[in-house]
Amino acid sequence: MTPTPPGPSTPPAHPYSLEVSGLAYAYPDGHQALYGVDLKVARGERVALLGPNGAGKTTLVLHLNGILGGGLGGVRVGGLPVEKRNLAEIRRRVGIVFQDPDDQLFMPTVREDVAFGPATAGARGPELEARVRKALALVGMEGFADRPPHHLSFGQRRRVAVATVLVMEPEILVLDEPSSNLDPASRRELADILRALDVTVLMVTHDLPYALELCGRAVVLGDGVIVADGPTRELLCDEALMRAHRLELPFGFDPRAVAVPGRAPAGGA
C-alpha cells in the first residue's frame, strides 16, 4: 500500500519579530542619522529603545514600516523584508502608537476609530464588529465604543489609540513615549494592559522607570549606532553608560532596589 503523503502544515512562526541588519540612513539634507544598526527582537519580547534626543530612535522606528527607506542595510518583520512590494503587509504587522493619541483619533466615535483600519483593509459585518470589540476589551475600553474620542481623558484616548493598532493584529507594537502626560493611575493602568498583551513590544521612551517596569531588555542608541544591549536593570545601573548618553534616572530612583513584576531586584532570590 502506498503511504498517504502528509497534508499541508502551517510553517513554524519565524523566531524573530524584528531583524535589523546594517541599517544606515542619511536624510536628503546630508544629515547622517543611522550609521549601521544591527538589532534582533525575538517573538514576544518586550524591548525598550533608549537614547538622548538626536540619537536616531525616530529614524530607526520609521524604517520598521517603510515610511523611510533607501539607505543601506535592511529590515525584516517576521522574516518578511521591508520593501515596496510588501508594504501593505508590513504596515499591518508593525503597529505604531504615536506619542499624541490625537494624531490617531479622527472619527466621530471610538468604535469608528478602531474600525477604520480593518474596514479599509476590507473587513465587514460581524467580523469587523468582533475585531473592534476584542481590541477595545484588550485595553479596557469596551464600554466607551459610542463615545466621541474628544470626550475622553488623555489616558483613555491613549488606550483607544493602542486599540486602533491592536485591531490590526500586528506582529510588533511600537510605542512612542507611552507614559508621557499620563497621571499616575493612567500610567499604571496602561502598564497593566501592556504586560497582558501577547505581542512583541518595542517601546521608545525617556521614562527609565517605565522601561524597567515593562521591558526586561533595553537597547541604547547613541549617535546612530547601538552602544549597549542587555538586561534593562543592568544598563540603568551602569553609571558611566548613562552619563555618556545623557540618560538620567529620576531623583532618588535606584533600579537595584525596585521589585519588578516577574523579576527580582538585583541581588534578590
- State pLDDT tens for residues 94-151: 999 999 999 999 999 999 999 999 999 999 999 999 999 999 999 999 999 999 999 9
91 band by pLDDT with thresholds 50, 70 and 90: very high
> Alpha-carbon distance 59 to 67, whole Å?
9
CATH code, 169:
3.40.50.300
Q: Summarize the confidence of residues 165-184 as an average pLDDT.
A: 95
Is residue 4 a part of any domain in this protein? Answer: no
Number of domains in the chain: 1
Question: Residues 77, 80, 82, 88: what is their CA dihedral angle, to the nearest 10 degrees?
Answer: -100
The type of residue at 213 is E
Could you tell me the residue range of the domain that residue 55 belongs to? 16-248
pLDDT above 90 for 262? no
> Alpha-carbon distance 76 to 145, whole Å?
35
Q: How does DSSP classify residue 71?
A: S
Residue whose C-alpha cell reads 498517504 in the numeric block: 4
Is residue 195 a part of any domain in this protein? Answer: yes
The type of residue at 103 is D
Is residue 3 a part of any domain in this protein? Answer: no
pLDDT above 80 for 234? yes
CA angle 173, 251, 220 (to 5 degrees): 40
The overall longest dimension of the chain from CA atoms, in Å, is: 76
The model carries a pTM of 0.90
- pLDDT of 57 reads 95
Is residue 229 a part of any domain in this protein? Answer: yes
Q: Are strands 72-77 and 46-50 parallel, antiparallel or unpaired?
A: unpaired
260 band by pLDDT with thresholds 50, 70 and 90: confident
The H or E element containing residue 114 is helix 110-120
- pLDDT of 6 reads 46
The H or E element containing residue 50 is strand 46-50
- pLDDT of 166 reads 97
Is residue 168 a part of any domain in this protein? Answer: yes
Is residue 67 a part of any domain in this protein? Answer: yes
259 band by pLDDT with thresholds 50, 70 and 90: confident
The type of residue at 229 is D
Is residue 148 a part of any domain in this protein? Answer: yes
Is residue 187 a part of any domain in this protein? Answer: yes
175-222 confidence digits (pLDDT tens): 999 999 999 999 999 999 999 999 999 999 999 999 999 999 999 999
- pLDDT of 4 reads 46
Q: Summarize the confidence of residues 53-71 as an average pLDDT.
A: 93
Task: Report whether 149 contacts 160 (CB < 8 A).
Answer: yes
